[in-house]
Structures are given as structure tokens and as C-alpha cells.
Structure 1
Amino acid sequence: MITIYHNNRCSKSRETLALLENSTQPVNVINYLTSPPTVAELRDLLAKLQLGPEDIIRKGEALYKEVYATQHLTADEWLQVLTQNPVLIERPIVVHGDKAVIGRPPQNVLTIL
């Protein structure tokens, strides 16, 4: 099963979902804005992505610029921020087995299918 952490208002997320729906694998769609990942789920995602919390932050978001850009937080603190403010999580994130990628560009998902 393939899981996509999806935001339907994002064109890249929609493009990535379309690519996934054309595969032969079933797709589990999680709207991460209404069902944000827990800290444990984020840790698992980051391990599969081989990234740290700061690597998946949308630094162009107004919330980041206004509140967090000048803060120096630990990885654990960033995890808390991301679970409380899922709009700051880069999108889409696609998971297949023990691997994950960020679907920017959408063709990135082809590397884990």
C-alpha cells in the first residue's frame, strides 16, 4: 500500500496523487491538515525520508516567517511545532514500505514505486 500525506489545495500534491492513482498499487490518502501526524508518526516519516524535522518545514509559509524563522528549536521542539501546525509540513509526502519521498517534483514518487 502507498500512503500520501496530501493537501488537495496544492497543485503538486494533486499531481502526485494523480501519478499514484495511475499505479497498480492501492493508495491511502491522508489529509494531513485535518488529520496531522503524531510526533511518533513524524519520527517514522523522517526516518523513511532520511531527513530531519527542519528539512520538511515549508519556510515560505507566513506562519513560519512570522513566528518560527528566528527561533532556534531542537528536533523534538520542531516535531511538536509540526504536529500542532501541520500547514508547515512540506507536501506531499509519499510512503511505500520502508521508503518515503517528498513529491516535489511529483515524479520523485516514481523512485519508490
Structure 2
Amino acid sequence: MLQILHNPRCGKSRNCLAFLDNSKAEYEIRNYIQNPLSEEELKIVIKKLNIKPIELVRQKEIIWIEHFKGKTLSDSEVIKALAQYPILIERPIIIKGNVAIIGRELEKVEKFL
């Protein structure tokens, strides 16, 4: 079964859910804004995405700009920021076993399924 890390206020995330519904995929939803990921969970997701922690950051968010932009942060510091401010996490994230994608483009989601 798929897991989707979802922010219901995000249009891309809602579109991805609609796509999964139309494709009849079985999935469970985790609203990571209401139920934030721990630093350890973030490390696991980042490993499944096969990216650097900074690649998971929404760098145009006000929180990032005000608190972190222009600073040199270690991977650990980026993960701490994502755990503290889950709004900074790119979305949606679709997890299937040991792999995951950021499902902003539906064509990418379709290939992943």
C-alpha cells in the first residue's frame, strides 16, 4: 500500500490525491502538518527519496526566508528545521516500500505507480 504525506491546503497535494483515487490505488494519508514527522522519520523519507535534505525544503516559504536563507546548514540542521516547521516540506510525497517520490507532477506519479 502507498503512503502519501499530504498537506490538504496544497493544490498539488490535492491533485495528487485525486489522481490516486482515479487510478484506484490503495493508499493511506498522513497529514504531516497536523501529524509532523520526527527527525528520524524525515531521515528515512529522505533516504527513500534518494535526495539531500536541502532538496526537500520549500525555499520560497516565508519561514525559510526569515530564519534560514543565506545560512550554511548541515544536513542535520536542515532536518531539524523540517521537523520544527513541517510547512517547509515539499509535497506531496508518495512512499511505496523503500522508495518515494515528490509527486508534484502527475506524469511522475503515474510512472511511479
Q: If the length of structure 2 is used for normalisation, what is the TM-score?
A: 0.93
Deviation at 1:21, TM superposition (A): 1.7
Deviation at 1:66, TM superposition (A): 1.1
Count of matched residue pairs:
113
Per the alignment, residue 38 of structure 2 pairs with: 38
The answer to whether the 8 A contact 1:6-1:32 is kept is yes
Q: If the length of structure 1 is used for normalisation, what is the TM-score?
A: 0.93
Residues 71-80 or 102-111, more deviating? 102-111
Matched, 1:107 2:99: no
- Deviations along 1:50-74, one digit per CA (max 9) or x if unpaired, are 1011001001101111111121111
Per the alignment, residue 68 of structure 1 pairs with: 68
Segments ≥4 residues shifted beyond 3 Å: none
Report SS of the residue matched to 2:37: coil
Q: Unaligned 5+ residue runs, structure 2?
A: none
Residues 25-34 or 49-58, more deviating? 25-34
Q: What is the aligned-residue identity percentage?
A: 38
- Deviations along 1:24-82, one digit per CA (max 9) or x if unpaired, are 43211010111111111111111111101100100110111111112111101111110
Whole-Å Cα distance in 1 between the matches of residues 103 and 67 of structure 2? 26
Q: Unaligned 5+ residue runs, structure 1?
A: none
- Alignment RMSD: 1.1
Deviation at 1:111, TM superposition (A): 2.3
Give matches, 1:50-65, under 5 Å.
50-65=50-65
